[in-house]
Structure 1
Amino acid sequence: MILIIGAGMAGVTLARYLHSHDIPFRIFDQQSQFKNQGFGLTLRSDTTAKLLPLLGLGEDDFATRVAVDRKTGKTNTFLVNLTTGEKFAAASFKEGASSRDFRTNRERLRGVIMGDSAGRVEYGCKLRLFSSTTSGVRAEFENGMVVEGSVLVAADGVHSLIRSRLLPHCVPQDWDGVMVNGTCRFSLAEWDAKIRPHIQDAAVYPGFGDQKVLALTIYDANWDPEIGYVDVSWGLSRRRKEGNDPLFVRYGDRSFDKGSAPDAFWDEVEALPPKDLVEPFRTVYEDVRARGDRTIHHQLVSMLIPKDDLLAELQSDKVVFIGDAVHDWSNHAGTAANAAIQDALALGEVLNGNRGLEEYYEERYPSWLGSYEKNGEDFQTLHRPMSEWRALLDVQKAGPDNTELNQTAAHAAQL
């Protein structure tokens, strides 16, 4: 019996794999009921290719079910200067990206992945204690339930209780960035009049300024002529300011309210000022405070458990880590969610083949290490000073195949 703690993207993907291969498992989540997983994420083509055989879906069918616009989820082909409207080409230098990458609605993606295994999630089960036994592992929950299994899978996220108990020295590290996201809704009439003329059929539309990025992405849509709407996720991200930055949040800050942006954020948006932004950013950001949009204030961190620690805990405690419990790269470029899905599929293959669980770590660790090492660097590159953006724009105008452009701006499109 495989015991999965956590029903986020990694946990439910593993549950679907085990369910499809008739491998006994139970999956637990501390939430009392299903919780919306947030806005959207860019699903990479290599992740999709690994996921589709499990789901039994064709690529087009899958896309219409989970794409943010319920069509193609087309990603951006350029970034826009927020004040001049100049377009900075992106598609030609997306390092590691593919034209088949697309933007997905996180909640619908989770639902499609779960499929028939959705009813297997046991909600309201917060882990209290766990220990190894002669045959595997024993888990006790705060509701009094006790279960035993052969392996405990830690899929309980960046604030993993399992990791904090077994590896208290492995703590996510802060890095110098700020990110706030919010949502707003447009009727189809408003969308056609105010937004579509500027973004056309793209689902992602990012703009850059001096050490900051403002991004607009569709995260859901209903195209019914009478009741249709388009839900937009907007975001502001930037480098951390020197000295006291009121929007910078440390990982250890327990007073932090993720679901409510502080007043300093609204003040910062108004100080842009929105009226000086090009469309459609002006439309979205000009009345953002008055609309009272739902917001998420992110803690930006990096973390990767050392491989030796992972192997040691596997042997001594029969615990294996997947998703944000073992690695975290915040929300940059959607790499964490893609990694979580691929972690679950890789672990499922190992379990299905009755192979040693250490093979899972041998397969996945090189990819984790590469993303971990680039995390903060990628963020700083994307949020470069305006002087550097202008230099790159000049290079772009000089020729589309310029080597410097390809090397220095590769990460700018990874939103």
Structure 2
Amino acid sequence: MTRALIIGGGVGGPVAAAALKRAGLEPVVYEAHPGPGEGLGAFLTLAPNGLAALRTVSMLERVRASASFPTTRVEFVNGSGRRLGLLGGEEHLPEELRSVTINRAALQRAVADSAADQGVGVEYGKRLARYTESDSGVVAEFTDGSTAEGAVLLGADGIHSTVRRALAPDGPHPSYTGLLGIGGYSPVPDTPPTPEATMRMVFGRRAFFGYQSAPSGETYWFANLGHSELTREEIAARDDAEWQEHALGLFRDDPPEITRIMRECAPSAFRPLGIYDLASLPHWYRGRAALLGDAAHAVSPASGQGASLAAEDALVLARCLRDINDVPEALAAYEWERRDRVERIVAEGRKRGARKAGSANPAALLVRDMTLRVVFGLTARFGSQGWIHDHRVDFEARATSPEGSPR
């Protein structure tokens, strides 16, 4: 049986392992951290295409049970509270495939536990140092001195991927999107709740804010702040209280519920992280090693597709390794099938993010709001984002080589 070494136990790694197990391979996941989802407080949305991929590998039920609430609509307003658009339209889908919001740690635990239940081996505390390969296999070397051997090595180790640096040392680095991200969970009983299953997105005068009321009474919120790129050391040079006051100041002229929500949150929620994406690598594989998820094509959170694309990648990659005997050729087929779709979504996420920074120029804000009304109106009328959410990976279909002929 072909052994597959998967580096990274976040979301894409366990999903890939479950798919590879179905494809008749022997996957083992190696994760640097001591357990799944340790210390992660952020939340994300899983879209219908990602949920459909999870259903294929029998992870959907556990993931939905771990989700916080449904998020099937998004309402957009400007800094004066005026509606710019309302997007949704998932009523035609079965309930199990309708978008949900989930804590990242809960998602990672759900997919890791599900993979383990399906017989996948997961080893924690294994940080990759390097790998070497031959014509017949690949050897992973970990920082604790241990090694592992397999026929293929897959990097599902995120935007700062060790596998990617080894596979493509001269390739492009992740690009800063011009935004810092913050967020948290606030108890704000005196703030009117958002409509059922609806995330409200506010294009403020100086920054961007998103929030949704949870059944628990909490408000899940995040903010994107336009800022020049900062190193981790530069971010750490300002304490949490300073970052909190900075964020509150950016929203001082926007709807008052924003600052009310933010003031109820601990200062630690305001320490930002830079938001990066990775638009295009020269190649996603070399020899017997390949990348998936953020390691191959990190998307801005504005796309709402990071975890969902990783799950799609996992299915396509497993199918190619199942149907094409030559490992490098199978990896080439996987990249060939996936590249156009994900790069288009990365570009869409970057375009959405560019509208979030706000402006000191009232005329620029007026033009932005008018443009967004048109964009959201056309999207709602013609369903122009359906190509993202309606995509389904047919796991039973036979993989096709890059030249277009079945193998």
Fold-level similarity (TM above 0.5): yes
Q: Return 5+ residue gaps in structure 1 as ranges.
A: 224-228
* Aligned counterpart in structure 2 of residue 90 of structure 1, from 86, 93, 99: 86
Kindly indicate whether the alpha-carbon contact (under 8 Å) linking 1:177 and 1:239 is maintained by their aligned counterparts in 2: yes
* Aligned counterpart in structure 2 of residue 23 of structure 1, from 18, 22, 25: 25
Deviation at 1:286, TM superposition (A): 3.7
| Equivalent residue number for residue 6 of structure 1 | 8
Closer, same or farther in 2 for the Cα pair 1:273/1:89, shift >3 Å?
closer
Kindly indicate whether the alpha-carbon contact (under 8 Å) linking 2:74 and 2:86 is maintained by their aligned counterparts in 1: yes
Superposed CA RMSD in Å reads 3.6
Deviation at 1:349, TM superposition (A): 1.8
Whole-angstrom distance in 2 between the partners of 1:370 and 1:55: 28
Describe the SS at the equivalent of 1:156.
coil
Closer, same or farther in 2 for the Cα pair 1:279/1:52, shift >3 Å?
farther
Closer, same or farther in 2 for the Cα pair 1:62/1:204, shift >3 Å?
farther
Check if 1:285 corresponds to 2:262.
Answer: yes
Whole-angstrom distance in 2 between the partners of 1:56 and 1:10: 12
Deviation at 1:74, TM superposition (A): 2.3
Closer, same or farther in 2 for the Cα pair 1:353/1:284, shift >3 Å?
same
Aligned AA for 1:74?
T
Kindly indicate whether the alpha-carbon contact (under 8 Å) linking 1:181 and 1:295 is maintained by their aligned counterparts in 2: yes
Describe the SS at the equivalent of 1:280.
helix
Check if 1:374 corresponds to 2:348.
Answer: yes
Q: CA deviation digits over 1:124-155, x for unaligned, max 9?
A: 11112210124210111111211110001111
Deviation at 1:348, TM superposition (A): 1.6
Check if 1:210 corresponds to 2:205.
Answer: yes
Check if 1:270 corresponds to 2:248.
Answer: yes
Closer, same or farther in 2 for the Cα pair 1:15/1:257, shift >3 Å?
farther
What pairs up with 1:238-249 in 2 under 5 angstroms?
A: 238-240=225-227, 245=228, 248-249=229-230
Whole-angstrom distance in 1 between the partners of 2:373 and 2:52: 37
| Equivalent residue number for residue 45 of structure 2 | 42
Q: CA deviation digits over 1:241-274, x for unaligned, max 9?
A: xxxx4xx32xxx3536689975553232232454
| Equivalent residue number for residue 301 of structure 1 | 276
Deviation at 1:49, TM superposition (A): 1.9
Aligned AA for 1:42?
T
Kindly indicate whether the alpha-carbon contact (under 8 Å) linking 1:180 and 1:237 is maintained by their aligned counterparts in 2: yes
| Equivalent residue number for residue 237 of structure 1 | 224
Kindly indicate whether the alpha-carbon contact (under 8 Å) linking 2:15 and 2:115 is maintained by their aligned counterparts in 1: no
Kindly indicate whether the alpha-carbon contact (under 8 Å) linking 2:63 and 2:111 is maintained by their aligned counterparts in 1: no
If the length of structure 2 is used for normalisation, what is the TM-score?
Answer: 0.77
Q: CA deviation digits over 1:63-85, x for unaligned, max 9?
A: 7514323xxx1244412334x32
Deviation at 1:92, TM superposition (A): 6.8
Runs of 4+ in 1 over 6 A off after TM superposition: 258-261, 393-396, 404-407
Kindly indicate whether the alpha-carbon contact (under 8 Å) linking 1:179 and 1:235 is maintained by their aligned counterparts in 2: no
Q: Return 5+ residue gaps in structure 2 as ranges.
A: 359-363, 390-407
Kindly indicate whether the alpha-carbon contact (under 8 Å) linking 2:50 and 2:308 is maintained by their aligned counterparts in 1: yes
Deviation at 1:111, TM superposition (A): 3.0
Identity value in percent: 22
If the length of structure 1 is used for normalisation, what is the TM-score?
Answer: 0.76
Closer, same or farther in 2 for the Cα pair 1:271/1:105, shift >3 Å?
closer
Closer, same or farther in 2 for the Cα pair 1:353/1:373, shift >3 Å?
same
| Equivalent residue number for residue 141 of structure 2 | 140
Q: CA deviation digits over 1:203-245, x for unaligned, max 9?
A: 5222121252111145xx6x6xxxxx444432221434xxxx4
Describe the SS at the equivalent of 2:126.
coil
Aligned AA for 1:303?
L
* Aligned counterpart in structure 1 of residue 102 of structure 2, from 104, 109, 115: 104
